[in-house]
Structure 1
Amino acid sequence: MSRDTRKSPPGSPSAPSLRPFTQARYYSGMSDHFIVVGGNALAHRLAIELTEQYDAQAAAIVPAEETPHVVQLGKVLGADGVIVDGAVTEESLRRAGIDRARAIAFVDGDDRANIHAAMRAAALRPGISIVIRMFNQRLGRHIAQLVANCTVLSASATAAPAFVNAALQRPHSVTAGGRTLWIARGTQIDMRQTPFLIAADVDRDRPADIDMLPEVAARSRTQEWMLLQERSTEHAALQFLDVSHTDLVGNQASTTTRMWWRAVDALRFFTSAKLRTVLIAAVVTLLVAFSGIWLLARPFGWALYESLLDVAGSAVPDVYGQPSAVGGDWQRIFQVAITLSGVVLMPVVTAVFVEGTAARRGVRTRQPGTGLRGHVVVVGLGNAGTRVTTLFHDLGVPVVGVERDPEARGIAAVHGLDVPVVTGDRPIDDALRRAQIARARAVVAVTGDDVANLEAALESRAINPDVRVVVRLFDDDFASHVYTEFGNTASRSVSYLAAPAFAAAMMGREVLGTLSVLRKVLLIAEVAVEPDSALAGAAQRALDRPGLTRVLAVRRAGSTEFDWSGADRGRALVAGDLLIVAATRAGFGGLPGLVG
């Protein structure tokens, strides 16, 4: 699917002029700032994350094309905070103040361009913290060893599990300190579990109104739950994952049914519609005639022998005037029918092999099977779509891809997994029908265009009203309307899910994972207490800030085990302690010692 690259009209109020940054005035007295390189959705979110959540100073190097995200970067950082350059050159890096910057992130969608730019930055400023966005994670591990002080992350790999779990309606989890945490909602909550943390309150009447890490009076968990019920809110709790993920693949058809559909798929694969019509007619005629000969007191083996010879044109007709063999006139009629159908059948079989060979040379992916049931349709095979499709395949969930661009990078990837794909620039409803959306369990629309994703979701729901819908949407207001108006629907944003991890990497911190509560995210992170950190000497309870942060567990200096009990929260933290913290984006950005 193509990405929306509509430009704002030049000179419009919503599109501030972005000119090449020719003076170092903006950065002349600043140091320890952050540089974002890229002009896409992730660059936009990352700039917001740095400036709003961490209250840090940032600059951006963007491409010359004035896309909507580049325009928004100009609004976030100011026109003078955006350096416009067709490529990441030494000049643009110096203008961005790389000699005084604390960290730089390369978040363009081109792996090769990011690698080259990162190496150029490392040569200009040895020791600078570098974060690279790369789709190829195997290559990324080698690059992280090659470039000093470098962290390689994949936005699509970070966000993909949230899309998959939303489609399967199963909890997304994060492993921390040897335990697995997940967000439970409503009747899923087991109040007997510990630890038990109220992660969020969601107003049922206004699902977009989410109170993350709310302050709750000290009372029993049952009383907390009753209090939340009286406030007409839905409770979302952070607790251990202790559920069995079943029914991933859905109801399995019987062996006979599966064999029948496989035969149909094989026929569809090897033949065109015209050949199938001729072939089926010839075979039906042959079967009827064979049955007639068999029923005329012929043994089955003898009837089969004569029929096969007749098909090959080797039959010996009766001589006129002599008495016929067993069967009489009816046998003659059936033999004529078999011979004539054989005349048609043999060339058709030859044509099938020729056509199949030619088709296999031109077709790179197989088509969805007619008998496909309980599968997931992924619309858009870009970076995110490829990751999502791969995860479904790894889980054993049947999956079908839909991609308009036959040259998209995901085509080759899913071809290697033998995943069926519908390609071509056809109407989305036709593509969805070819993907057997009527019998699918879920559709995940993850193109780079919000409108295209919404269109795919609406067309899917029109064909299959019961299908589970997961939509990739960048715009938060857009997503809020989707949640309000449509049931059995989830919305996720790749950049929103990935930006906290990239920002944390720039800060030198590690985010273990993110947990979603609708469109909000809760970060689970490890925070080490350094000797010179502001955390050293602070009481543990000082980090429990409603709406911002909560300490889940502590591994005390010299210990090898995490304490999840929550006891002794008044203890002063010392250098060497390791904390597992649940935090909102704002809370994580405000942890002491994150920004120098």
Structure 2
Amino acid sequence: MGDLFIVVGGNALANRLTVELTRQYGVRTAAIVPPQETPYTVQITKVLGAENTVVDARVSEEALRRAGIGQAQAIAFVDGDDRTNIHAAMRAAALRPGIRVVIRMFNQRLGAHIAQLVDNCTVLSASATAAPAFVNAALQRPHSVSAGGRALRVAVGQDIDMRQTPFLIADAIDRDRQSDIEVLPVAAARSRTQEWMLLQERSPRHAALQFLDASDAIVAGNLYKASPTARLLWRASDTLKYFTSAKLRTILIAAVVTLLVSFAGIWLLARPFAWALYETSLDVAGSAVPDVYGQHSAVGGDLQRLFQVAITLSGIVLMPVVTAVFVESTATRRNVRTRQPSTGLRGHVVVVGLGNAGTRVTALFRELGVPVVGIERDPEARGIAAARGLDVPAVVGDRPIEDALRRAQIGRARAVVAVTGDDVTNLEAALEARAINPEVRVVVRLFDDDFASHVYKEFGNTASRSVSYLAAPAFAAAMMGREVLGTLSVYRKVLLIAEVVVETGSESAGRAQRDLDEPGLTRVLAVKRAGSTAFDWSGADRSRVLQEGDRLILAATRAGFGSLAGRVS
């Protein structure tokens, strides 16, 4: 098998993955990019050089050969739709039998079948990998990764629980200078006693890795409790919205208000209620009998005449509107329309952008029982059908973001998550949401690190995440034949949690556990001896010798995970 790694795609993930392979793993890399020039394809060409970048729209056999498929050890398809990636992957596997294939797919059920169909294939979803980080950031709860029967999370400063046995994993924490944050610092290589004494200060500059406690469980559901009368009014308002468009609602409400005021006027003219209702009903139907000029009035004088005229005119408007509502609700099959946000919605999360990432985030909120509303400009976006299937209300259509946010009841929302594919659009949504509701929690998807640093510096109660940054390590690891259990964020820094086996003949076999602890690179969290049934998380004996078959739970930076392959395999 060769030593070349090929990345197919021209999007943000392809860009991140190229950087991951060349800078963190130091392997020879080539890319196949689409002919449409984007900032990502320009950056890929800059990193790899024009000689290692092939431009092709269809990922043809010729393009694969030019990229060096004959010498490739692994190839990743991270662009295009699921169908395109499947066809290209099967083409590559036929040209290079035994090559390790990594496919990005949104449909995970189909992906499980494809992984069995294509030899030596791994199927991953970038949006599924990143979605939990966005959800946890919005709900301000710790993001966790399951490893060795435990759930690990990151705690910073006063949130560090000293009743547990935490591991120091970051120092120099400063949200305004995130590039200076030191992940897996030198202090993490000290003895457990020294590290424990350091963490006892619980300085805001320290972050620790510890087990997720039950007290960190999410408080789900709608936090606002409304009165029965309010709920009844909101239900009536929602029903009216469901069956009518905005223009029809305006006309209908005006006609009904006029009718009710006029009915009250007739009733107050010393008429019995039943008689007033009788006269009003006939007048609405256009059956009013006018007085004859010069004869004695059959009604209650000039005031009642005025009310009857108003009722008759409003009836002329009301009856066609009712007919239009009936026709519209049946002929246009409104049962397949996306449900509109309820007037009484409170304590919910607004997700801006229902693409791949937005769909995953919305579904995860729904699973957790958190009320959620989607906003999407494109009525054909993937998430629109998903919103209907999940019975999630959504604001759909090309309208100003401020109007869309107001329709989504942002003024009473707990958080807004902006996950479109454009940094500027996401930032605009966040700023508009903050202008309407200064207390709302903001989570924005940003690709550019400098952009994200400025956002952290200028705005409080804000978090930034990048789908490609969170997903790229998992794709790179899969190309190397390894599996990342999950990623944990220390602001914009990423810590990988992985389970590896000390293989026969590896560099680590016969060496002390502490020899795998390298500041800034790797940290052994737990060890399960060959033949044992449980992991030892105490970390007390870092001098014990590792043996072939031992399983390790490791925390690693991106660079550390790249250097790990040669030491345990």
So what's the TM-score if we normalise by structure 2? 0.89
Structure 1 residue 159 displacement after superposition: 0.6
Q: Tell me which amino acid in the other structure corresponds to 2:390.
A: L
CA distance in 2, matches of 1:417, 1:150: 31
Residue matched to 2:503? 530
Residue matched to 2:241? 268
TM-aligned CA distance change 1:289 to 1:53, over 3 Å:
same
CA distance in 2, matches of 1:360, 1:333: 40
1:381 is the counterpart of 2:354: yes
SS at match of 2:161: coil
Structure 1 residue 410 displacement after superposition: 2.3
Would the aligned equivalents of 2:527 and 2:553 in 1 still touch at CA under 8 Å? yes
Q: Tell me which amino acid in the other structure corresponds to 1:508.
A: G
1:347 is the counterpart of 2:320: yes
Q: Which runs of 5+ in 1 are unaligned?
A: 1-29
1:224 is the counterpart of 2:221: no
1:542 is the counterpart of 2:554: no
SS at match of 1:509: coil
1:563 is the counterpart of 2:536: yes
Q: Tell me which amino acid in the other structure corresponds to 2:352.
A: V
1:519 is the counterpart of 2:475: no
Q: Tell me which amino acid in the other structure corresponds to 1:128.
A: I
Residue matched to 2:133? 162
| Larger mean Cα displacement after TM superposition, 75-84 or 410-419 | 410-419
Equivalent residue for 1:448, pick from 395, 404, 421: 421
Would the aligned equivalents of 1:119 and 1:147 in 2 still touch at CA under 8 Å? yes
Residue matched to 1:574? 547
Superposed CA offset, 1:354-392 (max 9, x none): 243455469842333333322222222221122112212
Equivalent residue for 2:85, pick from 88, 99, 114: 114
* Within-5 A mapping of 1:424-435: 424-435=397-408
Would the aligned equivalents of 2:175 and 2:491 in 1 still touch at CA under 8 Å? no
TM-aligned CA distance change 1:112 to 1:205, over 3 Å:
closer
Would the aligned equivalents of 1:200 and 1:517 in 2 still touch at CA under 8 Å? no
Would the aligned equivalents of 2:178 and 2:492 in 1 still touch at CA under 8 Å? no
Structure 1 residue 550 displacement after superposition: 1.1
Structure 1 residue 286 displacement after superposition: 4.2
SS at match of 2:378: coil
Q: Tell me which amino acid in the other structure corresponds to 1:459.
A: E
| Larger mean Cα displacement after TM superposition, 195-204 or 183-192 | 195-204
SS at match of 1:562: coil
* Within-5 A mapping of 1:273-284: 273-284=246-257
Equivalent residue for 1:483, pick from 418, 441, 456: 456
TM-aligned CA distance change 1:205 to 1:278, over 3 Å:
closer
TM-aligned CA distance change 1:209 to 1:255, over 3 Å:
farther
CA distance in 2, matches of 1:284, 1:40: 55
Would the aligned equivalents of 1:389 and 1:401 in 2 still touch at CA under 8 Å? yes
Would the aligned equivalents of 2:33 and 2:56 in 1 still touch at CA under 8 Å? yes
CA distance in 2, matches of 1:299, 1:125: 91
Structure 1 residue 301 displacement after superposition: 6.5
Alpha-carbon RMSD across the aligned residues, in angstroms, is: 3.1
* Within-5 A mapping of 1:585-596: 585-593=558-566
Q: Tell me which amino acid in the other structure corresponds to 2:429.
A: A
1:99 is the counterpart of 2:73: no
Structure 1 residue 504 displacement after superposition: 0.7
TM-aligned CA distance change 1:528 to 1:367, over 3 Å:
same
CA distance in 2, matches of 1:590, 1:112: 34
So what's the TM-score if we normalise by structure 1? 0.86
Would the aligned equivalents of 2:21 and 2:29 in 1 still touch at CA under 8 Å? yes
Would the aligned equivalents of 2:166 and 2:208 in 1 still touch at CA under 8 Å? no
CA distance in 1, matches of 2:297, 2:55: 98
Would the aligned equivalents of 1:212 and 1:584 in 2 still touch at CA under 8 Å? yes
Identity among equivalent pairs (%): 76
1:78 is the counterpart of 2:52: no
CA distance in 1, matches of 2:159, 2:420: 31
| Larger mean Cα displacement after TM superposition, 583-592 or 93-102 | 93-102
| Larger mean Cα displacement after TM superposition, 532-541 or 52-61 | 532-541
TM-aligned CA distance change 1:460 to 1:208, over 3 Å:
farther
CA distance in 1, matches of 2:46, 2:202: 39
SS at match of 2:205: strand
Q: Tell me which amino acid in the other structure corresponds to 2:363.
A: T
SS at match of 1:102: strand
Q: Tell me which amino acid in the other structure corresponds to 2:134.
A: F
Superposed CA offset, 1:22-64 (max 9, x none): xxxxxxxx93221111111111111111111112111111122
SS at match of 2:444: strand
Structure 1 residue 404 displacement after superposition: 2.4
Would the aligned equivalents of 2:13 and 2:78 in 1 still touch at CA under 8 Å? yes
Superposed CA offset, 1:95-127 (max 9, x none): 222222211111113211111111011111111
Residue matched to 2:142? 171
| Larger mean Cα displacement after TM superposition, 107-116 or 91-100 | 91-100
| Larger mean Cα displacement after TM superposition, 184-193 or 300-309 | 300-309
CA distance in 1, matches of 2:175, 2:375: 34
User: When you count helix as a share of all residues, which structure comes out higher?
Assistant: 2
| Larger mean Cα displacement after TM superposition, 382-391 or 298-307 | 298-307
Would the aligned equivalents of 1:54 and 1:595 in 2 still touch at CA under 8 Å? no
| Larger mean Cα displacement after TM superposition, 192-201 or 361-370 | 361-370
TM-aligned CA distance change 1:204 to 1:295, over 3 Å:
closer
Residue matched to 1:25? none
Q: Which runs of 5+ in 2 are unaligned?
A: none
| Larger mean Cα displacement after TM superposition, 385-394 or 132-141 | 385-394
Structure 1 residue 184 displacement after superposition: 1.3
SS at match of 1:553: strand
Superposed CA offset, 1:150-184 (max 9, x none): 00000111011111111111111111111111111
CA distance in 1, matches of 2:286, 2:24: 82
TM-aligned CA distance change 1:414 to 1:279, over 3 Å:
closer
SS at match of 1:525: strand
Would the aligned equivalents of 1:375 and 1:399 in 2 still touch at CA under 8 Å? yes
Equivalent residue for 2:121, pick from 150, 171, 193: 150
SS at match of 2:37: coil
CA distance in 1, matches of 2:130, 2:149: 22
1:467 is the counterpart of 2:479: no
CA distance in 2, matches of 1:274, 1:52: 57
